[in-house]
């Protein structure tokens, strides 16, 4: 039995009750199969057994007081999965679905994503099952302060640098940073996605969505195509979705649909992003309200039906496992040619295989959404230098990083005999970087 098969055989038993983590780990291990016959030293070093266990996972209590004076209690997490390549780096998610399995899958993906950026950052993720929806600013602040009152013990500019993710944006990073500074007395680069007035970087807000646009543009150009004249469906209407839509438009594509967890809007004229930004970023309202502003737009309940809309390019930018086999089959039969994952693991394993079998170009999250964390690392550099770069300078670096990632995954796929299979390309290229660092550092 091969080394990969031996490890895969035990993966369920060793990670009971953690379906998302098992899914992410299985996908990577399956991708790595072709490499392992050639590298018996990995088995000797128990590399896979080590890489599958977090270096540390912290679970903590987050008590806070709501506006009615009621005491509320949530669970906080920080999974510091792998620091071989650099200090732990990865977002914080506030969503009721957060649990240890979700945190572990996200932190695990982050290891290889961060490896692909070519920058010195390890993999981590954190969060809470706190639901920020409908909470007042004061409640958000109270929660963030309580969350940081425990987390501050485990983070630092050279240790672990969290950032945003679902439910955590500029407002939350501000409150988290304020509490860190109050507790430690240090104005340190300990969180990225900070406001431009206190150490943040230009383009970090836009970076994940822009990066997705740039890498898809690379994939299109490599095939003699472009976004010009293409209909694009984007799920979600949060940070990643909004700036993916903005870049797609700038590159000539037409975004015809966006969504949130209640349903999706279809605007055949092309989505008006100014209206989406006003609704979602400023007023924090539901996407359904968009249809009330635009006579030609319709709102439909149920977010997964967004994949029934015919399109050339599909960009899932909401959450994990939002695109299943049935949705993949519908997209394929409606003529989709390109899929780019802005979200982390939005496509189920079965749906991924459907796309690959149909010859669809699928750019996986760990490559396609790496622009966010890469720009976080650029924010860390600027913070250390105490010299900020301009918007244009950061944007140019982001474009170069995304082109570098595209070349890297394209080459890795082709060299291992899987041309155009970017799931394999990204997993192999990310793994090679991390495994080289781990092998060099001995058994730790
Ligand atoms: P936001 O909180 O800004 O937006 C999330 C969007 O996805 C909202 O429209 C939300 O709808 C929708 N959504 C969330 N959960 C669900 C669900 N269970 N079912 C249906 N829709 C859902 O988050 P981001 O845009 O930052 O993150 C989106 C994805 O991108 C996540 O997978 C995240 O891990 C990934 N990502 C984020 C990066 C970043 O820099 N922010 C970097 C790389 C990846 P609703 O408001 O109704 O909940
Ligand atoms: O999933 C991700 O890459 C993020 N949420 C961004 C992490 C970061 O540290 O910027």
Domain count of the fold of the chain: 2
In a shared domain, residues 230 and 161 = no
Query: Contact, 76 vs 62, CB < 8 A?
Result: yes
In a shared domain, residues 163 and 234 = no
* Cα separation values, 60 from 128, 162, 279, Å: 9, 16, 34
Interior angle at CA 84, CA 167 and CA 397, nearest 5: 60
pLDDT band at 240 (very low <50, low <70, confident <90, very high): very high
Instruction: Find the catalytic residue in 125, 247, 280, 354.
Output: 125
Interval 59-118: pLDDT, tens:
999 999 999 999 999 999 999 999 999 999 999 999 999 999 999 999 999 999 999 999
- pLDDT, average across residues 156-173: 98
Ligand 1 geometric centre to CA of 166 (Å): 4
Average pLDDT taken over every residue of the chain:
97
Q: Comparing C-alpha atoms, which of 33, 60, 67, 61 is closest to residue 48?
A: 33
User: What pLDDT score was predicted for residue 1?
Assistant: 83
User: What pLDDT score was predicted for residue 33?
Assistant: 87
Interval 315-357: pLDDT, tens:
999 999 999 999 999 999 999 999 999 999 999 999 999 999 9
**Residue 419 annotated to the active site:** no
Residue 339 is part of which domain span? 207-368
In a shared domain, residues 183 and 213 = no
Specify if 310 maps to a domain. yes
In a shared domain, residues 179 and 282 = no
User: What pLDDT score was predicted for residue 40?
Assistant: 86
State the Cα–Cα distance between residues 441 and 331, nearest whole angstrom: 45
The response to whether residue 373 sits with its C-beta less than 6 Å from ligand 2 reads: yes
Specify if 253 maps to a domain. yes
In a shared domain, residues 180 and 221 = no
Specify if 245 maps to a domain. yes
Q: Comparing C-alpha atoms, which of 369, 367, 258, 370 is closest to residue 314?
A: 258
Edge to edge, the sheet with strand 231-235 lists 298-301, 263-266, 254-260, 231-235, 313-316, 338-340, 361-363
In a shared domain, residues 168 and 261 = no
Per-residue pLDDT at 55 exceeds 80: yes
CATH of the domain at 295: 3.40.50.720
Specify if 299 maps to a domain. yes
In a shared domain, residues 84 and 174 = yes
The response to whether residue 200 sits with its C-beta less than 6 Å from ligand 2 reads: no
From 368, 399, 433, give the residue that closes a domain: 368
Interval 278-326: pLDDT, tens:
999 999 999 999 999 999 999 999 999 999 999 999 999 999 999 999 9
User: What pLDDT score was predicted for residue 34?
Assistant: 79
In a shared domain, residues 81 and 230 = no
Q: Comparing C-alpha atoms, which of 122, 102, 104 is closest to residue 112?
A: 122
In a shared domain, residues 154 and 244 = no
In a shared domain, residues 217 and 121 = no
Specify if 213 maps to a domain. yes
Specify if 437 maps to a domain. no
CATH of the domain at 94: 3.40.50.10860
The model's pTM is 0.98
In a shared domain, residues 226 and 343 = yes
Specify if 281 maps to a domain. yes
Interhelix angle 170-184/137-151, nearest 10 degrees: 50
CA of 318, closest atom in ligand 1: 7
From 368, 388, 423, give the residue that closes a domain: 368
Interval 385-410: pLDDT, tens:
999 999 999 999 999 999 999 999 99
* Cα separation values, 408 from 51, 93, 173, 388, 429, Å: 22, 29, 32, 28, 7
In a shared domain, residues 308 and 181 = no
Specify if 385 maps to a domain. no
Ligand 1 geometric centre to CA of 93 (Å): 9
From 136, 157, 187, give the residue that closes a domain: 187
Closest ligand to 113 CA?
2
Per-residue pLDDT at 37 exceeds 80: no
Ligand 2 geometric centre to CA of 185 (Å): 26
The response to whether residue 240 sits with its C-beta less than 6 Å from ligand 1 reads: yes
């Amino acid at each position: 039995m091969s080394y990969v098969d031996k490890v895969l055989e035990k993966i369920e038993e060793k990670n009971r009750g953690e379906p998302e983590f098992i899914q992410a780990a299985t996908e990577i291990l399956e991708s790595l199969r072709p490499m392992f016959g050639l590298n018996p030293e990995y088995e000797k070093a128990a590399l896979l057994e080590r890489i599958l266990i977090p270096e540390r996972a912290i679970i903590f209590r987050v008590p806070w007081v709501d506006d009615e004076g009621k005491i509320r209690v949530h669970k906080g997490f920080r999974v510091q999965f792998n620091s071989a390549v650099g200090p732990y780096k990865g977002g914080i998610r506030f969503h009721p679905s957060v649990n240890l399995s979700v945190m572990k899958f996200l932190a695990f993906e982050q290891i290889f994503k961060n490896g692909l950026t070519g920058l010195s950052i390890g993999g981590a993720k954190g969060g809470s099952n706190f639901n920020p929806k409908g909470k007042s600013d004061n409640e958000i602040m109270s929660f963030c302060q309580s969350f940081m009152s425990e987390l501050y013990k485990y983070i630092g500019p050279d240790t672990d640098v969290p950032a945003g993710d679902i439910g955590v944006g500029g407002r939350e990073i501000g409150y988290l940073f304020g509490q860190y500074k109050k507790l430690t007395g240090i104005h340190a680069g300990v969180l990225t996605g900070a406001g431009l007035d206190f150490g943040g970087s230009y383009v970090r807000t836009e970076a994940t969505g822009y990066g997705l646009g740039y890498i898809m543009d690379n994939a299109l150009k490599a095939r003699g195509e472009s976004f010009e004249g293409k209909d694009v469906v984007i799920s979600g209407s949060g940070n990643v979705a909004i700036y993916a839509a903005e870049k797609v438009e700038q590159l000539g594509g037409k975004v015809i649909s966006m969504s949130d967890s209640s349903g999706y809007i279809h605007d055949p004229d092309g989505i008006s992003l100014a209206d989406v930004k006003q609704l979602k970023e400023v007023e924090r309202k539901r996407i359904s309200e968009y249809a009330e502003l635009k006579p030609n737009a319709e709102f439909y309940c149920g977010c997964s039906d967004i994949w029934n809309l015919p399109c050339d390019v599909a960009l899932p930018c909401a959450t994990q496992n939002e695109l299943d086999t049935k949705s993949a089959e519908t997209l394929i039969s409606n003529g989709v040619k390109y899929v780019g994952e802005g979200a982390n693991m939005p496509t189920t394993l079965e749906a991924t295989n459907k796309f690959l079998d149909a010859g669809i170009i699928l750019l996986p999250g760990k490559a396609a959404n790496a622009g966010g964390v890469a720009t976080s690392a650029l924010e860390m550099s600027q913070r250390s230098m105490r010299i900020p770069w301009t918007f244009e300078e950061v944007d140019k670096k982001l474009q170069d990083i995304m082109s570098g990632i595209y070349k890297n995954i394209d080459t890795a796929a082709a060299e291992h005999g899987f041309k155009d299979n970017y799931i394999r390309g990204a997993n192999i290229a990310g793994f090679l970087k991390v495994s080289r660092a781990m092998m060099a550092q001995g058994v730790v």
